[in-house]
A and B are shown apart, each in its own frame.
Chain A
């Protein structure tokens, strides 16, 4: 059972029973269709795996209510597991606790930066109260300058904002702290 706000990191995965760990390892291959360098584990979307005698239950928490990627993610998880298992694959959506970028590991944030997406800054519980009035300082993923301006709060996907770097003049995506 995953407890609230727990990051799924290496230590947690190593503590799991062998059968469950195997499923987690397989699902590392399922990428977020909108950010293909990130796995569903990196994103914190994959919350829990329950291995039963005749089925495997995969528990997923969607990012945003209207995230169009969720159907593709479900299909990809099923497809990937079907390569290794003949038993039933059950996909369960868990809404509570609501998905948060706090579940992203530092490794995952590093991979976001490598994909030239500026990773979320700060903790969601602090930032939620500030979202109406304040903008955090965001680093440009290209030249690492902190002299950047927000172009649009809503970006290419629901989870990102669009920024512009005043130093290298490049536009870039910022993954909102949510």
Chain B
């Protein structure tokens, strides 16, 4: 999928990043349908998944319009390979156990809450209207995962140990959420994208307040951080997600419902 010569190439690339984050995390959560530890959690996880995939759909549709070469949102989802997906590595991490699921979601939701709030001020009318809608949803998601971090962190010795492990492991994937490169910087200049540097301290404070309340250690952003997702270099998990997600349309291309 080549859009190098498109006058909107930066905006298209940016849209793909945003949509890929949400699609892949949404797909990860969808895997838990019927497998969550309790019925209420099953419903909550799949509701969140639906919201994220719905948000991704709106953004892919916009990207497809900008690409203007006949490709649809479905083409972007089902016919791109691993190296063309630009999601943050955090969103593809495994459903190792419920503590990992909770921390992965907590790091993403807390970021997304602030990010959507800022993106809803975008000079790009389409992105700002998608973000204004998503912002309302991100409040629900954040509220939900925050309660689980508190419950597990401040629960039993075992639940605290497990969520502490998950936090210790997944923290190195949080830095990527704030990465800026030439693509995003050019969009910051046109007020299309928020400047992520300005969100860092607010995010860290928000996260640390909750971690402290949950008897978990405070974190900093100056530790070792993983990177690569924005350039299409992924962990071993993404290929498996795509294999499952893309199997039917690739096995039966051009088939219609």
Contacts and interface: CB of A to CB of B under 8 A. Distances in A.
Main secondary structure on B side of the interface with A = helix
Interface of B: 40, 43-44, 47-55, 57-58, 125-126, 128-130, 132-134, 136-137, 139-140, 142-144, 146
A65 B125 contact: no
B43 A131 contact: no
Given A128-B136, A154-B47, 17 more contacts: A64-B50, A64-B51, A64-B54, A65-B55, A65-B134, A66-B47, A66-B53, A66-B55, A68-B50, A95-B126, A95-B133, A128-B139, A132-B142, A151-B40, A153-B144, A154-B144, A158-B47
B44 A65 contact: no
A66 B50 contact: yes
A132 B47 CA distance: 17
Main secondary structure on A side of the interface with B = loop
Categorize the interface residue count of chain A. 20 to 34
Interface in A152-175: 152-156, 158, 162
A154 B107 CA distance: 20
Contacts, number: 74
B40 A152 contact: yes
Interface in A65-111: 65-68, 95-99
Contacts of B132: 95-98
Contacts of B137: 64-65
A158 B57 CA distance: 17
B54 A65 contact: yes
A158 B125 CA distance: 25
A153 B54 contact: no
Contacts of A131: 139-140, 143
Contacts of A98: 129, 132-133, 136
Interface string A116-160: 000000000000100110000000000000000001111110100
Contacts of B130: 65, 95
B110 to A, nearest CB: 11
B19 to A, nearest CB: 12
Contacts of B57: 65-66
Contacts of A95: 58, 126, 129-130, 132-133
A154 B148 CA distance: 14
7 contacts: A65-B51, A95-B126, A96-B133, A98-B132, A99-B133, A132-B143, A153-B143
